[in-house]
Structure 1
Amino acid sequence: MPPSTLHDLLTTHVDNGTVPGAVALVSRGGRTEVQAVGSADAEGAAPMVRDSIFRIASITKPLTAAAAMMLVDEGTLALDAPVSTWLPELASPSVVRTPSSPADDVVPAVRPITVEDLLTFRAGYGFPSDFSYPAVQLLFSDLQKSGLDPQDTPAPDDWLAALGRIPLLHQPGEAWLYNTCSDILSVLIARASGTGFADFLAERLLVPLGMKDTGFAVPAADLGRFTTSYRPTPDGKLETVDTPEGQWSSPPRFASGAGGLVSTADDWHAFARMLLADGAGPDGRALLSPDAVRRMTTNHLDEAQREASDLFLEGQGWGYGGSVDVDERDPWTVPGRYGWVGGTGTSAHIVPSTGTAAILLTQVQMTSPVAPAIMRDFWQYATTV
């Protein structure tokens, strides 16, 4: 049985030391419940509040997909267009002969990478279940952690030039691979729109939705609401990863579409409401077409692609920028639910059929792609209230 209240659920995980604090939001049918519990840091110096700011990591990805679909809606991009029109660095990719082959044992790509390949994570770049493959190791060593270490990541042109020297792990369209495609999308959006990705996202999505606390850095005046980031240690303690004055206190060279945003529960909820309203903003003006929202929230993977991605996808397929629950046998899935989780301890989903939005923000990093107990308890609560 789930806890009787959202406050009880969060308090249980704060009291057992899983997280110093958390903010959770559940909305459905015009009713919104928000709870902020615990502290913004492990020392308990600052209470967690409703508008506490978090590094949201990979729940950045749906916003990046939405930004790309804005350019598709207006005709600047086409889903079947080769990305080489804007990203010549990826015009002639090579592919390792087998995923485990040496990085110099390659064959030519049989077709170009398309915009939709990036949106569905089937471009051939990214992380499989086995991180030991030589081509995957190059993604770590040559590109660095664009989402988690923003100040240590090269500028977009340098980043993409480095990526262009790395072979694909699979032929375009063949397999789902995690993460890298969202960062490629951020460069594509910048070049196709003629403006920086951070500026495009702010002008076209964040400002119209009133997402005032979302961006790639936290202004000095708001650092008092910015949570400290932690990771669990083997002995059960919490180790500091980043402080409010750390990596997100100044704009990065690379605005990572895969995991670079900071945000609040209410801000992500504004984005969720737009998706649930078929792309309409708070003033009723269409930010996305209903068809764009449908494509984002529809599974595009076949069964073989889903099964090969079981390290990341639990009973899920993939839409554009987020997972889509498709397997009713998994106890943690809700058919049609769209959204994703962030490695810094965040999750955000919508259920279009019920009009539900469910957002959980914590400041403790996940130790594996498998969702931790606090997320699973929260999902169960969100689908039963």
Structure 2
Amino acid sequence: MTLQTAAKHAPVPQTPPLPQAKPESLGLSSVRLQRMSDAFKRDIDKGTIPGVTVMVARRGQIGWFDALGKQSPAASAPMAQNSIFRIFSMTKPIVSIGIMMLLEEGHFLLNDAISKFIPEFADQKVGVENNGKLDLVPLARPITIQDLLRHTSGITYDHTGNSLVQQLYQQSRLRSRKISNAEHATLVAGLPLLCQPGAEWNYSRSTDILGRIIEVVSGKSLSAFLTERILAPLQMAETAFHTGAENADRLAEPFAADPWSGDKVQLFNMLEKPVMESGGGGLVSTTMDYARFCQMLLNGGVLDGVRIIGRKTLQLMASDHLGPNVRVQGTLVPPGHSFGLGFAVRTQEGMAPFAGSLGQFFWSGMAGTFFWIDPKEDLFAVFMSQGPGQREYFRTLLRSLVYAAVE
């Protein structure tokens, strides 16, 4: 058999499932978990969302894994446990783990200036609005790697507001999937910052810049680094920046128009290989793939005997890195929460409009995906959907329903 023939007949890599157990053996109520699935069925029947998957795991085993509704509103195929989703910003925790792996190898310090790796950032200015005009003022201090991880860099997103700086973002080519990570970083460095580094929490393209730093330090493309160091060791066989044509019948799709706002929904084509490997939002994945990443986090950085990140490094990442002096802009960090290095972190038992535990950490994706890790309850949950307009409603609903089932 030739090498080419062998490659043709090589088995397609499969994501091994995590072990499963009856809910009651894990301290979960099957009656209450069924109520959770029923609640999502009601929304599907109402036409709020085409379909969802929901997984709850505790004590190292899956207690509930349901696929509900349709995979795509344009086809009859039911949502499946192995449907493929755009996970958008759930890419950020994976890339944040990647940069911290390089930190653990001594390639840099958290308080290193990012201009050490991307020199264009040395000349960046802060944009201060003055009578409808933008004054450019020098940096009080450089942007650090820690700033990128905790979104205190002063970098922003073009869709989170309409300030004069964000208008410059909107007029740029930053949204193009046809530019490289290096070109993207140069474009961001050429635009003014929204505020001084360290002054505010602004959700941003910071994690895309971390992706570029991974490339500079490792000498590999972001996809090659993530595959080699995180995705392959965790056997996340279906997580990548695009998926092959053979998976065209497994893609989860949204309604063409959002059922609540009427806005047109446009998400990227998962079958198209992008030039830009967005560390902030470019990966596609499955529920089980992401569950393996979650179980590794819940285990303190290790899965099936493979250590990805040190226990103390992960503890640092899942801690409050904002404190009382950093102003949090926007609504993505809920009351009673702060932000760590790549994750939001619960800092108070109360305040938030949903149940949870001190020290739990999480993040979500713009198209409707969501996960959280609760070390105190030895629990994680993964939710996948492609419904951008319903994402905040479902995040809150899911937490209430899961915690109602914890015995």
Is residue 2:144 matched to residue 1:120? no
Kindly indicate whether residue 143 of structure 2 is the aligned counterpart of residue 102 of structure 1.
no
* 1:276 corresponds to: 298
Residue 63 of structure 1 pairs with residue 88 of structure 2: no
Identity score, percent: 29
One-letter amino acid of the structure 2 residue matched with residue 343 of structure 1: M
RMSD: 2.4
1:323 pairs with 2:344? yes
**One-letter amino acid matched to 1:341:** S
CA distance in 2, matches of 1:358, 1:234: 26
Q: Is the 1:99–1:169 Cα contact (8 Å) retained in structure 2?
A: no
Alignment of 1:1-385 (within 5 A): 4-32=34-62, 33-98=64-129, 102-103=133-134, 105-127=135-157, 131-145=161-175, 151=177, 153-230=178-255, 232-233=257-258, 241-242=266-267, 247-282=269-304, 284-305=305-326, 308-315=328-335, 316-327=337-348, 328-332=350-354, 334=356, 335-366=358-389, 371-372=392-393, 374-385=394-405
The 3 A distance-change label for structure 1 pair 333 and 76 is farther
Structure whose alpha-carbon radius of gyration is higher: 2
Distance 1:310 1:132 in 2: 13
Give the Cα separation in 2 of the matches to 1:347 and 1:293: 19
How far apart are the structure 2 equivalents of 1:2 and 1:304? 40
TM-score under structure 1 length normalisation: 0.90
SS at match of 1:259: coil
Q: Is the 8 A contact 1:230 1:365 kept in 2?
A: no
Cα–Cα, structure 1 residues 38 and 130, in superposed 2: closer, same or farther, change >3 Å? closer
Write the distance in 1 (CA, Å) between the matches of 2:228 and 2:58.
28
1:183–1:256 CA contact under 8 A, matched in 2? yes
TM-score by length of 2: 0.85
Aligned partners of 1:35 and 1:333: how far apart in 2?
Answer: 22
Which runs of 5 or more residues in structure 2 are unaligned?
Answer: 1-30
Question: Displacement of 1:340 after TM fit?
Answer: 1.1
- Aligned to 1:117, the other structure's residue is in SS state helix
Distance 1:78 1:39, change over 3 A: same
Taking the aligned partners of 2:138 and 2:86, their CA distance within structure 1 comes to 38
Amino acid across the alignment from 2:126: V
Tell me which amino acid in the other structure corresponds to 2:341: Y
Deviation at 1:295, TM superposition (A): 1.6
Q: Give the CA deviation at 1:333.
A: 5.1
Residue 232 of structure 1, CA deviation? 4.1
Q: Residues 143 and 354 of structure 1: is their aligned pair in 2 closer, same or farther, counting only changes over 3 Å?
A: farther
Judged with a 3 Å threshold, the aligned counterparts in structure 2 of structure 1 residues 100 and 358 are, in CA distance, closer, same or farther, namely farther
Q: CA deviation at 1:304?
A: 4.5
Matched-pair contact (CA < 8 Å) for 1:338–1:350: yes
Distance 1:220 1:262, change over 3 A: same
C-alpha deviation, 1:257, in angstroms: 1.0
- Partners of 2:234 and 2:306 within 8 A in 1: no
Question: After the TM superposition, which segments of 4 or more aligned residues of structure 1 sit over 6 Å from their partners?
Answer: 234-238
Asked if structure 1 preserves the Cα contact closer than 8 Å seen for 2:52 and 2:384, the reply is: yes
Question: Are 2:49 and 2:387, in contact at CA under 8 Å, matched by a contact in 1?
Answer: yes
C-alpha distance in 1 between matches for 2:290 and 2:386:
16
CA distance in 2, matches of 1:40, 1:256: 25
Deviations 1:237-286 (A, max 9, x none): 685634xxx6221221111111111111111111111111111132x132
More deviation, 205-214/326-335: 326-335
- CA change 1:156–1:99 in 2 (3 A) is farther
Structure 1's 101 and 296: CA in aligned 2 closer, same or farther, altered over 3 A?
farther
Is residue 340–residue 349 contact of structure 1 (8 Å, CA) maintained in 2?
yes
Cα deviation per residue 1:12-51 (whole Å; 9 max; x = unaligned)?
A: 2211111111001111123311000111111342111101
The equivalent residue for 2:3 is none
Alpha carbons of structure 1 residues 130 and 197: separation in structure 2 relative to 1, 3 Å = closer
**Kept in 1: contact 2:55–2:66 (CA 8 A):** yes
Note the alpha carbon deviations across 1:331-374, whole angstroms, 9 max, x for none.
Answer: 2252322111211011111111112111110111136xx712x3
Rounded Cα–Cα distance in structure 2 between residues aligned with 1:111 and 1:236 = 41
Count matched residues. 371
**C-alpha spacing 1:314/1:235, structure 2 compared with 1 (3 Å):** closer
Distance 1:250 1:310, change over 3 A: closer
- Which residue identity lines up with residue 379 of structure 2 in the other structure? T
Indicate how the Cα distance of structure 1 residues 114 and 100 shifts in structure 2: closer, same or farther if over 3 A, else same: farther
Q: Does the 8 Å contact 1:232/1:365 carry over to 2?
A: no
